[in-house]
Amino acid sequence: MIDPTFLEGIIKILFVFVLISAGLIISTRNLSSVLTAYTIQSFLLASVSSLLYLMDGKDQLLLLAVLTLASKVILIPYFISRIEEKIKIGRDLHFTYLEPTPSLLLSIGLIILSYTFLSRVFEGLPLSKLFFFGAVIGLSLTLMGMLVIFSRKRVITKALGYLSMENGVLMFGLFVTELPFIIEVLIIIDLIILVILTTILAVGMDSSIEEYRQKFRKLQVWAGGESQ
């Protein structure tokens, strides 16, 4: 039997690497590196779920780890990497509002805000430090994913920001909400993401959001002309 205290120590170390991966997603300009950071982040989440399974013995935790590995570490990154082979994707050099350095500074503020907010929400509740910090990391990761969507210009980078935000929801759910519900939500969101990625592939993988909308409008016009 593995000492739970030892497992808790490993999980806390993984929390640090999860935040580092989120920082890389926010600041990295190379799209392949952003994808790699997302894949590592998803693997870390699967590892956290596996360690929690060793601590609690709940089968749902093991199922969640397997689903995360299959969808977020293998399927979605493979799908995007295959697209990269067919359509050359450059660097995402353009930021809508915030450059990498201000974004990272704002991320630190979001982490502090998450800690302060959840400290008040969970005040008086019998919640262990591990589960409290897990909830803080989950909320922080969600907000940092939203920051990627807000600050980046390329559609594909925004999609990866959405995926990172979903990882935050998953992390929060691991420590706060009921697991069966989180598993159902995870499956539904991953299916939606695959549809979004397919749409991006069809319309324009390396477009900015403005170019993406223009191409999509042209596609609608063309489709309407064909139907007349």
Query: Tens-digit pLDDT profile for the chain (228 aa)?
Result: 678 888 899 999 999 999 999 999 888 878 788 889 999 999 999 999 999 999 888 888 888 899 889 888 998 888 777 766 666 655 555 566 667 788 888 999 999 999 999 999 888 777 788 889 999 999 999 999 988 888 777 777 777 888 888 899 889 888 887 666 666 666 667 666 666 666 665 555 555 555 555 655 554 433 444 444
What the block records as the tokens of 121 is 């929400």
pLDDT at 2: 77
* Tokens linked to 137: 């990391």
Compute the distance between CA of residue 196 and CA of residue 156 in angstroms, rounded to an integer: 10
For residue 95, what are the β-bridge partners?
152
Cβ neighbour number for residue 137 with a 10 Å cutoff: 26
User: Residue 29: enclosing H or E segment and its boundaries?
Assistant: none
Measured CA to CA, the distance from residue 108 to residue 23 in angstroms comes to: 9
pLDDT at 188: 65
- Report pLDDT for 219: 46
Contact (CB, 8 A) for 189 and 166: yes
Q: Cβ(144)–Cβ(98) under 8 Å?
A: no
